A and B are shown apart, each in its own frame.
Chain A
């Protein structure tokens, strides 16, 4: 690996100023499961890694049924799915946290890092989007701004983060009554793979659990960034649960997918998968509400 400087930051302010000083020659280090590989393989050259995983703000993991979840950007996957209350409230996020890499990856890899890496195929991004998660970003001037997750990635590997800015945490709204979420992906193996397509869904049902009050759908690996399928989700609002309604939403999701053909799959296969996975994600989320 080429030489770089390693600096463990003690405060958010120190981290942002260490990052600002070096601009794109500095990167924050959390779990390192993407960043260390990129630097080792010379896909990314850096003068400085700023270790941000020992800050209280990036390690917060606190859930309340009233205010929702505060999730620090450096919290590793295993800590999230080890929390029973969080697992019950946000099952779609847990679906993703449990399938990223293997055990050793989940011991280090963070949801914040997964988002900042900005892969179109990132597994945790669709669940964050369907859960309405908001990014809390600290700036080098001491300011804080908030960005919805669906607006965070701008291109493969590119995000809205400006010089010196640090993704500190996520705010995930408390799940409404009669709601649940689901994420799944298609891979040709059983585990340890990258999504050919991923789909997340969240639904809110009425008290009788026969109609959909609202729904959100998000797709991975079918565009340069993870997508919020806004019209597909909105098409379900007020509808009785039926195969027709779900098929129509899946078709609306297919309509916004603009996949490429690559080593993992063809554009045609991916478009087909968007339909299949959207239906399964919606039905999975609905089933979870009914079983709750």
Chain B
């Protein structure tokens, strides 16, 4: 059995150290080692986006990153979005627009929306739909999600 890897990294602004097996994905490390269970396992092969996180400023699927790759990097997850007493404007917009039903895809959509708005504060509907194409939702039919992102863009810009 290969030795565990020691990783020091930054997660949601805090320095974090952990040990992981080389074969453990970042998603597994987040959920099973660090108990940050916001990122969800959907397909585990990069199709559904339920595990979306922001790594060094880029949206990635945490199921397609190894936990061992995080050394010296900076990670943002859904857990880092809200202040203790205030939700992020994107989270508020998802609630106000009822942009979720079962909720499994929601953390991934919100992280993808955050990466979009960090990058492009005033996206068109077309840009929103293409940017979110890697996030699948089987409940809402997407319209409410797109409207929530449009609302969040108006609030934050």
Contacts and interface: CB of A to CB of B under 8 A. Distances in A.
B66 A32 contact: yes
A41 interface: yes
A36 B21 contact: no
B133 A49 contact: no
Interface in B28-75: 44-47, 49, 52, 55, 58-61, 63-66, 68-69, 71
B60 A107 contact: yes
B121 interface: no
Nearest to B68: A6
A49 B134 contact: no
Interface in A179-209: 190-192
Given A36-B66, A102-B49, A5 B133 contact: no
A239 interface: no
Interface residues of A, number: 30
Interface in A1-30: 1-6, 8, 29
B135 A37 contact: no
B23 A103 contact: no
A33 interface: yes
Contact of B59 (A33, A107, A192): A107
A41 B60 contact: no
Contact of B46 (A39, A49, A101): A101
Interface in B74-126: 112, 115-116
Most chain A beta-carbon contacts within 10 A, residue among B55, B65, B131: B65
Given A37-B46, A40-B45, A192-B47, A108 B21 contact: no
A264 to B, nearest CB: 16
A292 interface: no
A103 B131 contact: yes
Interface of B: 1-2, 5, 21-25, 44-47, 49, 52, 55, 58-61, 63-66, 68-69, 71, 112, 115-116, 130-135
Given A4-B22, A6-B68, A107-B59, 19 more contacts: A1-B23, A3-B1, A3-B22, A4-B2, A5-B22, A8-B69, A32-B69, A33-B61, A36-B63, A49-B22, A51-B69, A102-B135, A103-B59, A103-B116, A104-B52, A105-B64, A190-B133, A191-B130, A192-B134
